[in-house]
Structure 1
Amino acid sequence: MKCKVKAKAMINPTEDLEKVTEALSNMFDYDDIEIGEDYVLVSGGIESLQILKELLRERRIRDTATRILEKGVHDTKITFSLSKQAALVGVSNFVDGYLSPLGEIEVEIETDEVEALIQWITEK
């Protein structure tokens, strides 16, 4: 299955670049990192989702994850948001319809097999 993952977090003026990068590292095992003036963008393949997959299993929120991921499907892309604050302490927490205090990690997954990817990341 082809898969390209991008996760982007904005750096607020009151935030430390290292902490934003740590939040992303706690969720994704990325291949590449791009640091801009006010953002951090990480990217990779399906293997970069392994940490998030394990966190979903540990927290037992795979049903919620399935619902959020399915809601974010647009053709060959899946988009969703994670709480940056929760990610900093190693907790996967989806943001659905409201903004978290420190902002979100915006995730975009492009794949040729959307349903198979959702099943893989949320498998029981």
Structure 2
Amino acid sequence: MIYSVEIQITTPVHDTEITDRVEDAVQNLFPNVTFEQHPGEIIGETHSLEEFAVLLHEQEILDTARREFFKHANDESFRFSIKKQAAFKGIINFAVGNPDELGDIEVTVIVHEPDVESYIDHTVPPTEDGQPQPVDAE
């Protein structure tokens, strides 16, 4: 199956931060991102969550990722937030509750093909006893 997605990644850059370091933090989780710099923020774009999914598998947080993805999903997209500080270390830590002092990394995934649920299942499959389960293709 061919997946067609647009992924926009937005994060604030405060006066106390170095823009290149913030970009490095984002690239730790999304290595193929390209950036545009704007006053006070960077906006990145990529077309795959494959490397991000590998980290989710390695950190064994598929259930958490599925919950966060589906919590903010609609017919066309889903979104989630990640702690910027953890991203500096290459670790995925979903942001829930109040944003960090330096702000969170906001990710919006627009799914063109096939559909949001199928793309989430592909990226973070359901688990049973902590093990990823194959998803039936329809």
TM-score by length of 1: 0.92
2:129 paired residue number: none
What does the per-residue CA deviation read over 1:78-98, in whole Å, with 9 as the maximum and x for residues that have no partner? Answer: 011000110011001100122
Using the alignment, how far apart are the partners of 2:10 and 2:110 within structure 1? Answer: 14
1:101 paired residue number: 101
Report how many aligned residue pairs link the two structures. Answer: 122
Using the alignment, how far apart are the partners of 2:101 and 2:62 within structure 1? Answer: 24
Gaps of 5+ in 2: 126-131, 133-138
**Larger % of helix: which?**
1
2:22 is matched by which residue type in structure 1? V
The answer to whether the 8 A contact 1:26-1:51 is kept is no
Using the alignment, how far apart are the partners of 1:85 and 1:40 within structure 2? Answer: 16
Q: Which runs of structure 2 are paired with 1:8-87 in the superposition (5 Å)?
A: 8-46=10-48, 49-87=49-87
Q: Which has the larger radius of gyration?
A: 2
SS in 1 for 2:110: strand
Gaps of 5+ in 1: none
Note the aligned Cα RMSD (angstroms).
1.2
Indicate the percent of aligned positions where both proteins have the same amino acid: 30
